[in-house]
């Protein structure tokens, strides 16, 4: 504020201190002319909106600058007020101690808390220090200009920051939690918040526990907790664990109900027939839901007695309803093995060995060619292995030089291995007349007693030999027969 002085006023100001305290005026108008009026006062004159001069006394002010040439001075009330506040703050900081109870006035409210004037310095009352219970906004606890009593929690003298607390004035309810809510007890609570990972349940004011999404149901596949609970819903929970130091309680909803897996072995014993829907397909099998939350695995090896299944989609599709037989139940690991092929008798037990005899001539179609031989389809789902050494009388380097995929050829059955589920075939022996000599003896005579190479073929997962190879050069190829 710029003021105009007389010579007498300038001389008087120079002989006085720079700060003056006067009665606080009601300022009127915009331009003020100041003249000295006695030893301890300024008299100010201003014009009202109608041009009339009004005289009044200026209150507290600091003289910042005196311009003798222009006969002006610059005074400030702000600097004086700030100096007074700084002095009060310094004195108050010396008096404050952690744990002290102080009265103050709420000056401002933010989302994270409220600022409280303690009489010269503001302290922060954080939202987490307002109540032991859950609050969503500080305005639920305090209002602007409320006079409240708070506890001093922390003092940063360097930054002149003070942390305050309301809830600390009363004892923490967590002190008695272990005794009041022992582990494995069932209690009731109210859902106060639902997150993607679980739901928070209030057991009492200031005491909340978390029901993790994995602890909500024994069998249901839950994508979000809101599928089972909602805010303000009353639920029954079991106390699973308590961390008093971190003030955390783990709760469970499913533990208040019986676990259906405890009775799975009784309801689905091995050999039982079950119906279910294909829920998911993987490279190794299909998961069949036989009841809500209870799945059984139909492995690819249990889909067909004769067919070699590369992927479960060759037999079943997602959403299809199928009938299976329970093969085994592992209650501890919560696994049920199902079988589709077990619905029928194993053809390798009697049917295939009866219909395919060593020395018998049969026709089949080439289904696959490998570097160690040819697979020949004898009927739907049943194949035999025609080893490269049995393709022709001469030595064959590449099976594709002799046959192609899709060719229909006539072959002789050399051996049927029901245990290994394999059939060994020969093309070069079709025209041989060896009625008095068994097939195995003929192969052994040709291969020689020094050869111990095993040939694997047919279908199935076994690794036993079908017959001895005629040449040791085929040993590397024969080892790949099961690959």
Claim to verify: residue 365 and residue 444 sit in the same structural domain: yes
Q: How confident is the model at residue 172 (pLDDT cuts 50, 70, 90)?
A: confident
Residues 404, 366: Cα–Cα separation, whole Å: 7
Residues 433, 424: Cα–Cα separation, whole Å: 18
pLDDT digits (tens, 9 = 90+) for 217-246: 988 888 999 999 999 999 999 999 999 888
Looking at 292, 311, 343, the residue that finishes a domain is 343
CATH code, 380: 2.40.50.140
Q: How confident is the model at residue 78 (pLDDT cuts 50, 70, 90)?
A: confident
Looking at 238, 256, 274, the residue that finishes a domain is 256
Claim to verify: residue 195 and residue 282 sit in the same structural domain: no
Tell me, yes or no, if the pTM score tops 0.75. Answer: no
Q: How confident is the model at residue 305 (pLDDT cuts 50, 70, 90)?
A: confident
Residue 337 lies in a domain: yes
Residue 351 lies in a domain: no
Report pLDDT for 351.
83
Claim to verify: residue 361 and residue 469 sit in the same structural domain: yes
Q: How confident is the model at residue 75 (pLDDT cuts 50, 70, 90)?
A: low
Report pLDDT for 108.
92
Q: What is the DSSP letter of 127?
A: G
DSSP string of 383-450, one letter each residue: EEEEEGGGS-SS--S-GGGT--TT-EEEEEEEEEETTTTEEEEESTTTT---TTS-HHHHHHHHH-TT
Residues 215, 238: Cα–Cα separation, whole Å: 10
Claim to verify: residue 470 and residue 374 sit in the same structural domain: yes
Claim to verify: residue 473 and residue 360 sit in the same structural domain: yes
Collapsing DSSP states into helix, strand and coil, what is residue 315? coil
Report pLDDT for 127.
92
Range with the poorest average pLDDT among 63-67, 115-119, 359-363, 365-369: 63-67
Range with the poorest average pLDDT among 152-161, 390-399, 438-447, 458-467: 458-467
pLDDT digits (tens, 9 = 90+) for 411-457: 999 999 888 888 999 998 888 865 444 544 444 444 443 333 344 34
Collapsing DSSP states into helix, strand and coil, what is residue 235? strand
Range with the poorest average pLDDT among 66-70, 89-93, 374-378, 399-403: 66-70
* Count: domains in the chain: 5
The per-residue pLDDT of the chain, averaged, comes to 78
- Terminal C-alpha separation, the chain: 98
Range with the poorest average pLDDT among 80-84, 144-148, 347-351: 80-84
Report pLDDT for 138.
92
Residue 317 lies in a domain: yes
Claim to verify: residue 287 and residue 190 sit in the same structural domain: no
HSE, CB side, 13 Å, CA atoms: give it for residue 159.
Answer: 7
- What domain range is 149 assigned to? 90-169
Residue 372 lies in a domain: yes
Claim to verify: residue 362 and residue 471 sit in the same structural domain: yes
Q: How confident is the model at residue 71 (pLDDT cuts 50, 70, 90)?
A: low
Claim to verify: residue 189 and residue 215 sit in the same structural domain: yes
pLDDT digits (tens, 9 = 90+) for 134-144: 888 999 889 99
Residue 81 lies in a domain: no
Claim to verify: residue 361 and residue 392 sit in the same structural domain: yes
Contact 372, 389 (CB under 8 A): no
Report pLDDT for 11.
52
Claim to verify: residue 323 and residue 268 sit in the same structural domain: yes
Average pLDDT over residues 90-119: 88
User: Which is more confidently placed, 49 or 251?
Assistant: 251
Claim to verify: residue 155 and residue 127 sit in the same structural domain: yes
H or E element in which residue 93 lies: helix 78-95
- Closest by Cα among 313, 328, 304 to 280: 313
C-alpha distances (whole Å) from 210 to each of 75, 127, 254, 376, 451 are 62, 21, 13, 62, 70
Which residue do the tokens 């025209």 mark? Answer: 431
Claim to verify: residue 303 and residue 272 sit in the same structural domain: yes
Residue 483 lies in a domain: no
Report pLDDT for 463.
39
- Is pLDDT above 80 for 87? no
Put residue 247 in one of left, alpha, beta given phi > 0 → left and psi -120 to 50 → alpha.
Answer: left
Report pLDDT for 251.
96
pLDDT digits (tens, 9 = 90+) for 250-294: 999 999 988 888 888 888 999 999 999 999 999 999 999 998 888
C-alpha torsion 28→29→30→31, nearest 10: -90
Residue 349 lies in a domain: no
Q: How confident is the model at residue 2 (pLDDT cuts 50, 70, 90)?
A: very low
Task: Give the rounded distance of the alpha carbon of 266 from its chain centre.
Answer: 34
Looking at 52, 76, 100, the residue that finishes a domain is 76
């Amino acid at each position: 504020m710029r003021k105009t002085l007389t010579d007498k006023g300038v001389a008087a100001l120079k002989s006085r201190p720079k700060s003056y305290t006067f009665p606080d005026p009601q300022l009127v108008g915009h331009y003020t002319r100041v003249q000295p009026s006695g030893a301890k006062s300024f008299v100010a004159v201003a014009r009202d909106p109608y041009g009339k001069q009004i005289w009044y006394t200026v209150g507290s002010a600091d003289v910042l600058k005196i311009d003798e040439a222009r006969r002006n001075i610059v005074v400030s009330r702000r600097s004086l007020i700030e100096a007074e506040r700084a002095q009060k703050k310094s004195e108050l900081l010396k008096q404050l101690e952690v744990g002290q109870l102080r009265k103050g006035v709420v000056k401002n409210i933010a989302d994270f808390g409220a600022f409280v004037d303690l009489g010269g310095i503001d302290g922060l009352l954080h939202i987490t220090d307002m109540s032991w219970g859950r609050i969503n906004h500080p305005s639920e606890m305090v209002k602007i200009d409320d006079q409240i009593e708070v506890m001093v929690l922390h003092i940063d003298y360097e930054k002149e920051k003070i942390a305050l607390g309301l809830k600390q004035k009363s004892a923490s309810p967590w002190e008695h939690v272990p005794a009041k809510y022992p582990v494995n007890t069932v209690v009731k609570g109210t859902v106060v918040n639902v997150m993607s990972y679980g739901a928070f349940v209030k057991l009492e004011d200031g005491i909340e526990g978390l029901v993790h999404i994995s602890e909500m149901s024994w069998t249901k596949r839950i994508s979000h907790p809101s599928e089972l609970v909602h805010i303000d819903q009353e639920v029954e929970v079991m106390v699973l664990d308590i961390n008093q130091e971190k003030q955390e309680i783990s709760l469970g909803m499913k533990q208040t109900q019986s676990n259906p897996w405890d009775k799975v072995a009784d309801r689905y014993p091995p050999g039982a027939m079950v119906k279910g829907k294909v829920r998911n397909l993987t490279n190794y099998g299909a998961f069949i839901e036989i009841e809500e939350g209870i799945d059984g695995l139909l492995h690819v090896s249990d889909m067909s007695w004769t067919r070699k299944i590369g992927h479960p989609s060759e037999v079943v599709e997602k959403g299809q309803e199928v009938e299976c037989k329970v093969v085994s139940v592992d209650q501890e690991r919560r696994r049920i093995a199902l079988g589709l092929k077990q619905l029928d008798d194993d053809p390798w037990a009697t049917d295939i060995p009866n219909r395919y005899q060593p020395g018998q001539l049969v026709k089949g179609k080439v289904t696959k060619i490998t570097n160690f031989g040819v697979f020949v389809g004898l009927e739907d789902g049943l194949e035999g292995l025609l080893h490269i050494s049995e393709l022709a009388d001469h030595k064959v380097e590449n099976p594709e030089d002799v046959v192609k995929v899709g060719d229909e050829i006539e072959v002789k059955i050399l051996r049927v291995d029901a245990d290994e589920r394999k059939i060994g075939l020969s093309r070069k022996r079709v025209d041989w007349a060896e009625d008095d000599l068994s097939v195995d003896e003929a192969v052994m005579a040709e291969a020689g007693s020094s050869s111990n190479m095993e040939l694997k073929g047919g279908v199935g997962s076994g690794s036993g030999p079908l017959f001895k190879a005629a040449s040791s050069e085929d040993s590397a190829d024969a080892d790949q027969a099961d690959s």
